Amino acid sequence: MVNVWEHVDARKEAQHFCKIHNIQGPVLIDAQAEYITSLGLRGVPINVIVNKKGIVQAVGATTPDEVRATLTKLLLPFG
Per-residue model confidence (pLDDT) at position 44: 65
Domain positions in the chain:
1-41, 45-79
Residue type, 16: H
Beta bridge partners of 47: 3
Mean pLDDT of the 28-38 span: 79
pLDDT for 60-75, tens place per residue? 767 778 888 888 888 8
Is residue 7 very low, low, confident or very high in pLDDT (cuts 50, 70, 90)? low
C-alpha–C-alpha distance, residues 29 and 5, integer Å? 8
pTM over 0.95: no
